[in-house]
Every structure is written in C-alpha cells, then in structure tokens.
Structure 1
Amino acid sequence: MKIFGPLYERALKWASHERAPTYLTVLSFIEAIIFPVMPEVMLAPMCVAQPKRGWWFATLSLAGSLAGALVGYALGHFAFEAVKPLLAAMGMLPAIESGIAVVQEKMAESPWAVFTFLVLGGFMPIPMKVFTWASGIVGVPMLQYVLSMIIGRGKRVYLLAAVIRIGGPRAELALRRWIEPLGWVATGLVVLLVGVLVWRAKFA
C-alpha cells in the first residue's frame, strides 16, 4: 500500500503553484500542530525549481513552523484535557503522552536539558507536533522552547536547501524515488520510539 508517494505527488503540485510560498508557510504552520506531512516534501521541489530562492523558502518554512510551534504549545498548555478525545481518535495521544514523559524527565534535570533534547529532536524523524504539545503540557520555559524550535527545525530546512542547491535536480529525483521506503522507515522508527517510551514510562 502506497501512502507517502501520493502525498509527495500532491505536495509537488502545491510546489508548482504561483502561491507555493504561501502554501509552504501554511503547511509548515499546520504540521507543527496536527498535520502528518512534513513541509520538507514541498520545500525540496520548490528549491529545485528556484535554487537561488532556496534559502528564502527555508526561512518561510521555519517561520511557519515556529508560529505553529507556539500555537501547539498554547494548545498543550491550556487545552490538552479538552482535546484529549480528539487526539485519541486521531491516534496522536500515545505519542504525545510518551513525549510528555520524556520532556518531564528532562525538565527534572534542568530547562537546558530540555533545550538540548528538543534541539536534537528537531532532527529526528518524529512529528514536530509531539514536541510542541508535550512542551506546552509540561510547561517548558519559553526561552528554551523557542530557541530549541528555531535551531531544531532551522537546521533541517536550511540543510535541505543546501543539499538541493548542491545536488540540483538529481537530489529531487532521488527523493521522489525513495520517498515511499523512507516514509515507512521513518514511521517504523517513530512507532519503535513510542513503544520504547511507553515501556519506560510503565516499567522504569
């Protein structure tokens, strides 16, 4: 069953639209809160089409992600209990609760331990929304939270823009070819990580 390929093809259509920069920003914003498709699948073909504007596209994606991260934090902090049934129906609740356990563990060490974890988490194949909601629920200090979101997501989008600029169309073709297996591998890693976190929360 192919899931990530069709999603990628849809993102490619968005990328060719004249309002693609707006779509990218909105996609980045929504992905940080609830949407399952990472904005990189739209950022990559946009960087291929206009490599000289790749840094600008990456900046737009980062700005959208940061705005979404603030909304996700606020929702987690103020509305988590109210939206728990919705998150459970969408299958997001186990991952968020596991994220809460890890963020709480890091908070017990220090706010900067949380900062380091979130920075590293921004480069993992884990949906950003897990971290944004969990951080709001736990109450991660805003300074460490915002800095970690900027660095964690920023290094992803700017690295992608740099790879596309250097690799050119071949990089985008490779992404198209491998998007399906990469998507399933990333999903498997997320499921594995969630399982480990749940096991640790229950038996640690």
Structure 2
Amino acid sequence: MIRRFYDWVIGLAHHPHAIWVLALVAFVESSVFPIPPDVLMIPMILARPRQAWLIAGVALIGSVLGGLLGYAIGALAFESLGAPILAAMGKADAMAEFSTRFNDFGFWAVLVAGITPFPYKVITIMSGWTGMPLFTFIATSILARALRFYIVAALLWKFGPPIRDFIEKRLPLVFTVCVILLLGGFFFVRYL
C-alpha cells in the first residue's frame, strides 16, 4: 500500500498540473488542511530537479497566502471558525491564557511554526485572533516558509538522486518516520 501511494505521488509529480495542486495544498495547509505541502513538493523536486526553485517558490506563495486566510479566520471569524479548529486540536482551554502571551513571542511563534513540522495553521489563526500586527505576521511568514521550502529544495536539488534511492530502498522506514513526526507535531500542539 505504501509503495502504491508513493508511486501515485511520484506520478502526480510528473503531471502537467502538479504545480497548481501544490499551490492549492500549500494554501489550504496554512489555514485548515492537516497535510503539509512537503508530501507533494518533495516528489515533485525529485521528479523535476531543474524546477526545484520554482516548486519551492510556488509552495512559499501558496503557503503565505493561505496563512493570510488563517489570519483572517482568527481576526474576523474566530468564534465561528477558528475556535472549533483549535478546539479539535485540543487547544480550547489554553486559548485564553495563550492569547495574553502570544504577541510577546509572536514573531518567534510564527517563525518556529513556519519552519518546523508544528502545525502552521494554529499560529496563523492565533495571530489573527490576538491581533498580531499584519506586517509582522506577513514578513515572518515569508521568512519562515522561505527557509523551510528553499532549504528542502536546495538539499533535494543537490543530493536528489541519492535521496531518492534512499527513500525508494527504505520506503517503509521513511514512511514510518514521517508518520511519527506528523503525530509528534499533533501531540506537541495538543499538550503544548
């Protein structure tokens, strides 16, 4: 099953419209969707290493625009949309206390969430809800997401074939590590 999913994603990476799918995934991941764009971005770069910078740029633009949607959810519709999303992640009780301290560390919160596997959507919604200055949010989002996506692109561009061979030979192990990291991110958010 893992091999079929991997082959499907690699096949999608070769599809002429894959770049648009990546833009959509990066956009919705920043506000509501739980799957990170890396799941599509990595095989796309492995399939088309010459387009690594374009692929990272599309992920960056889609992610920052999606972050603005998350910010808007927090600022304009927190009670009806933002609170249920954060409550589903187990954050309902800690929201009030968190909001009082959030803007003191807002730059760092956005930077860390934008680079790490921590769910970026939590920070985008909280940034809007707590009234983080929009310029700070946008600038930090651009910096964090650019670091994340362009570092991945650079590593795959430079070491692509060996990394692809490693992934293909150890697919179950790679898949297990990715799932553990994803679950660890959700665990971190739930018990932060």
Distance in 2, matches of 1:86 and 1:5, equals 35
Report deviation, 1:123: 1.8
Q: Which moved more, 1:55-64 or 1:117-126?
A: 117-126
Are 1:183 and 2:178 an aligned pair?
yes
* Per-residue Cα deviation, 1:47-95 (whole angstroms, up to 9, x for no partner): 1122121001100110000110001110111112112685378x33x24
> What is the aligned partner in structure 1 of residue 52 from structure 2?
54
Letter in 2 for 1:22: W
Name the amino acid aligned to 1:32. Answer: S
How many Å separate the matches in 2 of 1:140 and 1:37? 25
Question: Residues 133, 169 of structure 1: CA spacing in aligned structure 2 closer, same or farther, 3 A cutoff?
Answer: same
Q: Closer, same or farther in 2 for the Cα pair 1:173/1:76, shift >3 Å?
A: farther
Structure 1 gaps of 5+ residues are 198-204
Query: What's the CA shift for 1:6?
Result: 7.0
Task: Normalising by structure 1, report the TM-score.
Answer: 0.79
Deviation per CA, 1:149-196: give whole Å up to 9, x if none.
Answer: 111111111011101111112223434524422233223422442343
The alignment yields a C-alpha RMSD, in angstroms, of: 2.7
Moved more, 49-58 or 114-123: 114-123
- What is the match of residue 161 of structure 2? 169
> Percent identity among equivalent residues?
28
More moved, 60-69 vs 167-176: 167-176
Corresponding residue for 1:201?
A: none
Unaligned residue ranges in structure 2 (runs of 5+): none
1:157 and 2:149 aligned:
yes
CA drift of 1:40 comes to 0.9
Residue identity opposite 2:121 in structure 1: K
Counterpart of 1:18 in structure 2: which amino acid?
P
1:30 aligned to which of 28, 31, 37: 28
CA, structure 1 residues 121+105, in 2 after alignment: closer, same or farther (shift >3 Å)?
A: same
Per-residue CA shift, 1:11-66, capped at 9, x if unaligned? 43432211111111111111111111111111111111221210011001100001
Cα 1:119–1:151 shift into 2, 3 Å: same
The residue aligned with 1:128 is 120
| Partner amino acid, structure 1, of 2:75 | H
1:98, distance to aligned residue in structure 2 (A): 4.9
Q: Which TM-score applies when normalising by structure 2?
A: 0.84
1:184–1:159 distance in 2 versus 1, CA, 3 Å: same
Evaluate the alpha carbon distance shift between residue 119 and residue 101 of structure 1 in structure 2; reply closer, same or farther with a 3 A threshold: farther
